[in-house]
Amino acid sequence: MLTYDILVIGFGKAGKTLAGKFAKAGKKVALIEESPAMYGGTCINIACIPTKTMIVAADKGWDFNQVMAERQAVTHRLNGKNYAAATGNGVDVIDAKARFISDKLVQAQKGDDSIQVTADIIIINTGAVSNVLPIPGLADSPLAYDSTAIQKLDKQPQRLGVLGAGPIGLEFASLYNKLGSQVTVLDASETFLPRTEASIAALAKSYLEEDGITIKQGIHTSLVRTEDQQITLITDQGELTFDALLYATGRKPNTAGLGLENTGIALTDRGAIAVDKHLETTVPGIFAVGDVNGGPQFTYASLDDSRIVLSYLTGDGNYNLETRHTLPNTLFIHPALASVGLTEDQAKAQGLPVASKEMPVAGMPRAHVNGDLRGAFKAVVNPQTKEILGATIFAQGAEEIINLITMAIDNHIPYTYFTQQIFTHPTLAENLNDLFAIE
């Protein structure tokens, strides 16, 4: 049996960060990862980095094969760098499947070889897996792909169906549309992007349709049939046939096979590992970080989870889920759609005093320089306290601009500050001067 100070299960953002920091501090650290293809975690290998690499490559006008080759080159390079960084910091990387035997005892299995590992502190960082809806024929179809498998196609589908209109579905829809596939998005909801400002969600839908993507709302699939190298969906709006189908219907915490039933670790009613504000599970000394704890499924949220655990184990624990900073988010369609805080409707539903302002990107000088007039900015504020309640930036570079507003929210900077801030020119960010000039 191997004994460590810290044992991390899963090579994700929070896990690898904690492993590296504790190893640098002189702790004996092991990191168990089931697949070498996942060194560095989901973001590096099958999510944020490869998908954004593909989007950028497609925007350059590259064809399908060039895009796929660039994706492979970038992920291979970063995968190796992550492994080298971990081992270079003194972390023992164990290639094996981890399974709990008891609370602080883990079996690491690779083929017929097995070892037992124990540690004072165990950190579970196994991420999430694609959710497969119980539609007859879906799980068995060789032409139905999740967000990982669709990145490994060797041939571009002429007709692509996308089941689900969340961030993953829409990003791939936009990507494959850019590559020239005929894309149809099937959205079970009657409302497009329901958690986005309604006016901007409507704008985003109009742009996607303008670009050639078909979006079907309120559609429900009852059966999937695969034959003659085609996949057909039987829906309440008729039959739809494609060359490939992406199902992007959410992701769920990856706890299967961990042997949690052999421990005192509790799960939530949604299947995530239950944690307290310090991300400690119901077993003292065992923590769950990243997607597996049911929190926001963002890489930067996982990184922030590592800060929370570090605060608890090496500091005073003041930084925790209750004091966590504001989380922005970005949907990488064209243009990018980023938001932070509350929408106007959400703020009103909370009974807050609300004032708002929306500005079209077409009226901004930099947009004319860029040759891209699509999008809008919107801000929601509390006119009494001068707080920024939320903002949505739908424009080229939105993923960068939203961070300025996030910092202002975290530091309780009144929205009126933006009206006097000096920005470089010509930029899209300078339009925050006018956006926050709200009476």
Q: Which residues are catalytic?
A: 425
Residue whose C-alpha is closest to residue 291's, from 325, 260, 326, 251: 251
Q: Which residues contact 156 (CB under 8 A, 6 or more apart)?
A: 64, 176, 179, 180, 181
Beta strands in 150-291 (DSSP E): 159-163, 182-187, 214-217, 221-227, 230-235, 238-242, 244-247, 251-253, 286-288
DSSP bridge pairs for 236: 238
Find the largest Cα–Cα distance for the chain.
70
Record the tokens describing residue 211, joined without a space.
């670009």
Structural Rg of the chain based on CA atoms? 23
Q: What is the DSSP letter of 134?
A: -
DSSP bridge pairs for 253: 128
Query: What long-range pairs does 31-34 form, CB within 8 A, spacing at least 24?
Result: 31/7, 31/86, 31/91, 31/92, 31/93, 31/94, 32/7, 32/8, 32/94, 32/96, 32/98, 32/106, 32/108, 32/117, 33/93, 33/94, 33/95, 33/96, 34/95, 34/96, 34/97, 34/98
Distances (CA, A) of 199 to 99, 164, 183, 362, 372: 48, 21, 24, 15, 19
- Residues 323 and 341: their CA atoms lie apart, in Å, by 15
b/e burial code for range 313-327 (CB count within 10 A of at least 16 → b): beeeeebbeeebeee
Q: What is the DSSP letter of 278?
A: T
Side chain identity at residue 367, one-letter code: A
By the 8 A CB rule, do 370 and 384 touch? no
Beta strands in 315-375 (DSSP E): 329-331, 337-341, 355-360
